[in-house]
Structure 1
């Protein structure tokens, strides 16, 4: 796994040839038990690395399209799975905890329920106020800038923009760790504001 901008954050990735971007998974290493977000399959090297760091206590799935290897890793580590409460009636795998807006996943990690994306109540996560972790709605197909999920996959673009507006109000965000694309390690709040400005301009000029 790759070390990120903090000594307690790691990432592993898989290149998607259809979109020409990387898909990412996040591991937050903490003494009370590690948290994985949207975990992809682990290579032997990454599995050994994760085990050396203490395995996993929780797996957070931001939306049903990001289940990935959650079940397999949960079975191997004994981790519990948390997922969006907005998908409770249709989520395809067993879940031990349903997360809704403003839930504390574990101390220091808070959930935000996003609306208008391709699944109800997609989760974003805020780590200790300064790191935002996103699933599908906010992504980065070009280095240095953020973008929305394409219009054709949105349930409601107005609601999606309202969700981005809320994220852009998180003034302490420095890093934005996206599930799909390029990670943002500096000036995350500014990049979110730029995304909001562009998305709002597009919808008002249509």
Structure 2
């Protein structure tokens, strides 16, 4: 796994040929149990690295299209799986907890519900008020510039735009770690504001 912009954050990635971009997973190393977000399948090396950092207690899945390697990781580690509450009736995995808007997952990690994306109630996660972790709706196909899913992928473009503008209004965001595309380690708020103005 790669060190991200904080000493307690790590990530691993997989290049997607169809979309010509990387998919990403995030690990937050914390006292009280590590949290993994949208885990891709782990290589042997990354699995060993994860174990050396204390394993994983909680897996958060931002939307049903990002289940990825979550079920296997939970089976290997005993981690609990948390998913978006609005997908409870159709989610492809058993979840130990369903997350609602503004739920505190663990101290310092808050869930924000996004409306209008391709799945109901997709989640974005705000880590200690400075790092925004996104699933599918907010992406970064070109380094330094955020974008969103195209209209034909959205269930409701107007609600999706409202959700993006809600996140852009949050104060103090420095980094945006997207599930798809490039991460932004600095000037996250400015990139979110540019995106919101463009919609």
Q: Give the CA deviation at 1:150.
A: 1.1
State the distance in 2 between where 1:136 and 1:78 align: 26
Within-5 A mapping of 1:122-161: 122-161=122-161
Q: Give the CA deviation at 1:19.
A: 0.9
1:180 paired residue number? 180
Q: Give the CA deviation at 1:48.
A: 0.2
State TM-score, norm by structure 1. 0.96
Q: Give the CA deviation at 1:180.
A: 0.1
Q: Summarize deviations over 1:86-122 as a string: whole Å, max 9, x none.
A: 1011101100000010000000000000000000100
Q: Give the CA deviation at 1:31.
A: 1.6
State the distance in 2 between where 1:144 and 1:53 align: 30
Point out where structure 2 has 5 or more consecutive residues left out of the alignment.
none
State TM-score, norm by structure 2. 0.99
1:96 paired residue number? 96
- Alignment pair present for 1:27 and 2:27: yes
Q: Give the CA deviation at 1:47.
A: 0.2
State the distance in 2 between where 1:62 and 1:11 align: 16
How many matched pairs?
199
State the distance in 2 between where 1:120 and 1:70 align: 19
Q: What CA RMSD, in Å, does the superposition of the two structures yield over aligned residues?
A: 0.4
Q: Give the CA deviation at 1:58.
A: 0.2
1:69 paired residue number? 69
Q: Give the CA deviation at 1:66.
A: 0.1
State the distance in 2 between where 1:170 and 1:190 align: 11
2:56 paired residue number? 56
2:169 paired residue number? 169
Greater than 6 Å deviation, 4+ residue runs: none
1:192 paired residue number? 192
State the distance in 1 between where 2:109 and 2:18 align: 32
Point out where structure 1 has 5 or more consecutive residues left out of the alignment.
200-206
